[in-house]
């Protein structure tokens, strides 16, 4: 039986997939509904931007600690607890609205609270998946979840916006709160362990566990290269995302309220879906570090092509092509870590890698905006493609050095 068939017939993974799909769909709805609710209340772009920025702050504050706690073996409890707290946090908004006591501060705190719940859930999820399906199937499992996520990211915000504008944001947020409760119940019903028994037992101090995780990431040359490559990839990714609207107006000749700008963004998201479907065939069911180097090279070349594009039809082709290369590097890095890391390192190392990568996105957006203002859109995009090109060389060299060292030991 093929690995795909084995995964499809696994009732435990099916239950885990259902929990993820339900809660993630609710989250994609809330991602657009919260800003709409805040803007309807304040009419302020500044408050809305602050709400968006808050999505990454909790990960930077709590990520490593959450990874350490998750690696201590209580992943199921962390995931259930995070879901239930998220349900209360999100559900408090429509409840307050129903009683006429909803405030701007409440919305901001709820958004920050939801992002914090995600940190703890995500840290536990990194280690839970390899433990539940086994290392041989973890790549296909990661890509199965990402395939669904890609579809949900396209459709979820559209549904959320429709609910929020046609009815009220409270209806959409109530749906999301319910999705977290359903997810928690599904996870609670999974009988298989969320951690390998061999990794459970006594632990050093939390600080020592943090240092150990950081040292493990730094000492492994391939993981270190993949992590810094992820940062470079994220810098360029943030630059393109941040410049999409001005690019569409200044280079493609659209107006700032043209619906085709949304079409450009939506078509771009198809790239990650294509990669999720194709990656198992590219690597034969395994995550190969060389795929990351290939993705980085493709991303740099696609960015350069975008910089010279002035035709909307050509842009519709280049955007998903660029996005597919970006996500080839991202997904391959995630799958490789989950496939190779020891069970008791999954949370710590993965959250640090995500923290580093996410840190590049706002940095790239800021650099792109500054560069576009000072030297123009085309030079800015070309310059910000350079970090990805450099990262592709460095990651390839690290891979080659690791292979040589392995062959010498053998």
Q: Could you please report the per-residue DSSP string of 22-77?
A: HHHHHHHHHHHHHHHHHHHHH--HHHHHHHHHTTTHHHHHHHHHHHHHHTTT-HHH
- Are 366 and 226 found together in one domain? yes
- pLDDT value of position 110: 93
Cα dihedral 290→293→298→304 (10° resolution): -170
Angle between the N-to-C axes of helices 11-42 and 104-133, in degrees from 0 to 180, rounded to the nearest 10? 170
Domain annotation covers residue 122: yes
Nearest by Cα to 41 from 118, 87, 110: 110
**Residue partners of 137: CB distance under 8 A and separation at least 6:** 3, 6, 7, 10
HSE (side-chain half, CA atoms, 13 Å) at 12: 14
Residues 219 and 181 placed together within one structural domain of the fold: no
> Do 28 and 137 lie in a common domain?
yes
Domain that holds residue 350: 211-409
Q: How far apart are CA 246 and CA 193, in angstroms?
A: 49
Report yes or no on 321 lying in a domain. yes
- Shared domain check, 306 and 183: no
Per DSSP (E only), the strands in 177-287 are none
Half-sphere CA count of 18, side-chain side, radius 13 A: 16
Asked whether residue 195 is assigned to any structural domain, the reply reads no
Q: CB under 8 Å to 232, separation ≥6 — which residues?
A: 296, 360, 387, 388, 390, 391
181/269 same-domain check: no
Query: Same domain for 177 and 234?
Result: no
CA–CA separation, 374 vs 324, rounded Å? Answer: 29
In a domain, 193, yes or no: no
Question: Contact, 132 vs 15, CB < 8 A?
Answer: no
HEC per residue, 85-108: HHHHHHHHHHHHHHCCCCCHHHHH
Is position 206 within any domain? Answer: no
- Kindly report the number of other CB atoms within 10 A of residue 154's CB atom: 17
The reply to whether 87 and 8 lie within a common domain is: yes
Determine the Cα–Cα distance for residues 330 and 151; give it in Å rounded to an integer.
Answer: 17
Task: Tell me how far apart the terminal alpha carbons of the chain are, to the nearest angstrom.
Answer: 32
CB neighbours of 338 closer than 8 A, spacing ≥ 6?
A: 126, 129, 130, 138, 139, 142, 346, 350
Distances (CA, A) of 312 to 251, 298, 306, 317, 324: 9, 21, 11, 9, 19
Angle, CA of 245, 149 and 155, to the nearest 5°: 60
User: Do residues 167 and 232 share a domain?
Assistant: no
- CA dist 98 and 7 (Å) reads 44
Count of other CB atoms within 10 angstroms of residue 60? 12
Burial pattern 20-42, b for ≥16 Cβ within 10 A else e, equals bbbbbbbbbbbbbbbbbbbeebe
Q: What's the domain count of the chain?
A: 2
User: Is there a domain that residue 202 lies in?
Assistant: no
How do the pLDDT tens digits run along the chain, 410 residues long? 566 677 878 899 999 999 999 988 888 888 778 887 887 888 876 677 677 667 778 888 888 888 888 888 789 999 999 999 999 999 999 999 999 999 999 998 998 999 899 999 999 988 898 889 887 888 888 888 888 887 787 777 767 777 777 778 898 899 999 999 999 999 999 988 888 754 444 556 777 878 888 888 888 888 888 888 888 888 888 888 778 778 888 888 887 667 677 677 767 777 877 887 777 666 555 657 778 888 889 999 999 999 999 999 999 999 889 988 988 888 888 888 888 888 878 888 888 887 887 777 777 877 888 888 888 889 988 988 888 888 888 777 776 665 544 444 44
Contact between 30 and 90 (Cβ < 8 Å): yes
CATH number for the domain including 305?
1.20.1250.20
What token pair was written down for 221? 């040359």
Task: Say yes or no: 217 and 157 in one domain.
Answer: no
Q: Is the dihedral of CA 163, 164, 170, 172 positive or negative?
A: positive
pLDDT at res. 404: 44
Residue-level pLDDT at 196: 73
- Those residues whose C-beta lies under 8 Å from the C-beta of residue 377, and which sit 6 or more positions away, are 243, 246, 247, 250, 251, 307
Q: For 284, phi and psi rounded to 5 degrees? A: 65, 35
Q: Distance (Å, rounded) from C-alpha 206 to C-alpha 223?
A: 22
Residue 175 sits in the same domain as residue 298 = no
Shared domain check, 348 and 236 = yes
Residue 203: inside a domain, yes or no? no
- Same domain for 58 and 169, yes or no, is yes
Is the residue at 204 inside a domain? no
Q: How far apart are CA 157 and CA 371, in angstroms?
A: 30
Q: How far apart are CA 148 and CA 118, in angstroms?
A: 18
């Amino acid at each position: 039986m093929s690995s795909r068939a084995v995964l499809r017939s696994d009732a435990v993974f099916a239950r885990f997939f259902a929990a993820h799909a339900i809660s993630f769909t609710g989250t994609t709805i809330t991602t657009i509904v919260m800003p709409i609710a805040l803007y309807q209340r304040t009419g302020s772009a500044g408050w809305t931007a602050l709400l968006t920025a808050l999505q990454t702050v909790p990960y930077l504050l709590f990520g490593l600690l959450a990874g350490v706690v998750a690696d201590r073996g209580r992943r199921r409890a962390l995931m259930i607890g995070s879901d239930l707290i998220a349900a209360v946090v999100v559900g408090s908004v429509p409840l307050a609205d129903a009683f006429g006591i909803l405030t701007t501060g409440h919305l901001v705190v709820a958004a920050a609270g939801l992002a914090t719940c995600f940190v703890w859930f995500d840290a536990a999820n990194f280690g839970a998946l390899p433990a539940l399906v086994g290392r041989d199937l973890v790549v296909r499992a990661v890509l199965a979840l990402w395939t669904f996520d890609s579809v949900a990211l396209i459709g979820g915000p559209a549904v959320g916006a429709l609910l929020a504008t046609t009815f009220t944001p409270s209806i959409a947020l109530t749906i999301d709160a319910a999705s977290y409760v359903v997810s928690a119940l599904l996870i609670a019903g999974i009988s298989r362990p969320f951690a390998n028994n061999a990794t459970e037992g006594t632990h050093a101090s939390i600080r020592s566990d943090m240092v150990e995780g950081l040292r493990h990431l730094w000492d492994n040359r391939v993981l270190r290269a993949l992590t810094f490559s992820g940062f470079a990839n994220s810098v360029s990714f943030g630059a393109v995302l941040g410049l999409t609207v001005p690019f569409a107006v200044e280079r493609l000749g659209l107006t700032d309220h043209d619906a085709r700008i949304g079409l450009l963004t939506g078509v771009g998201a198809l790239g990650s879906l294509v990669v999720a479907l194709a990656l198992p065939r590219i690597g034969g069911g395994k995550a190969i570090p060389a795929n990351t180097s290939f993705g980085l090279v493709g991303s740099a070349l696609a960015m350069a092509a975008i910089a010279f594009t002035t035709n909307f039809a050509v842009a519709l082709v280049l955007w998903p092509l660029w996005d597919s290369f970006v996500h080839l590097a991202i997904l391959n890095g995630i799958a490789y870590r989950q496939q190779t890391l020891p069970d008791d390192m999954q949370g710590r190392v993965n959250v640090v890698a995500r923290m580093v990568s996410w840190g590049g996105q706002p940095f790239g957006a800021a650099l792109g905006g500054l560069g576009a203002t000072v030297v123009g859109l085309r030079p800015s995009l070309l310059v910000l493609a350079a970090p990805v090109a450099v990262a592709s060389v460095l990651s390839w060299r690290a891979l080659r050095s690791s292979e040589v060292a392995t062959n010498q030991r053998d």
